[in-house]
Amino acid sequence: MNRIAEHLRHVYKTAFEIEPTWILQSAAVRQKWIDQAQSTNLWLADNDARKASFIYREAWQRGLKTTYYLHTLNKSSIDNAHRDRKKGSPQSTEGEIKACSLEAMCNGDECEACQ
């Protein structure tokens, strides 16, 4: 991200940097000219259930017929351990490598996806 000039980062934002309420407002304005429904994707930088609930209620109040996907940035240390293991990162502990999913970690097993 530091490779991109500041004035360009201000103009060209990533989906996670745009306020979801603005996306919903834009979709609501377009909605009245669409016969069926539009698939509205939403992006949240935080894994926050309260924000997600607010966004879905706002979509309903604005009259959107549907939302499609809610994308969030990955904040889970378990998922990060799984990603680090695939990269062969030396910072992954033996426990993280052996149990990279929550269920596997709780049961002391190895993740099915990594076997």
User: How does DSSP assign 23-57, residue by residue?
Assistant: HHHHHHHHHTT-SS-----EEESS--HHHHHHHHH
The average pLDDT across 21-32 equals 91
67 and 59 Cβ atoms separated by less than 8 Å: yes
Q: Does the predicted model carry a pTM greater than 0.75?
A: no
Tell me: the pLDDT tens digits for 70-84? 888 865 544 555 555
Distance CA 81, CA 87 (A): 10
Residues 60, 64, 65, 67: what is their CA dihedral angle, to the nearest 10 degrees? Answer: -90
Distance CA 108, CA 93 (A): 15
* Nearest partner of 53 among 65, 41, 44, judged by Cα: 44
Beta bridge partners of 42: 70
Inform me whether the pLDDT recorded for 58 exceeds 60: yes
Inform me whether the pLDDT recorded for 23 exceeds 90: yes
Every domain of the chain and the residues it spans: 6-72, 77-114
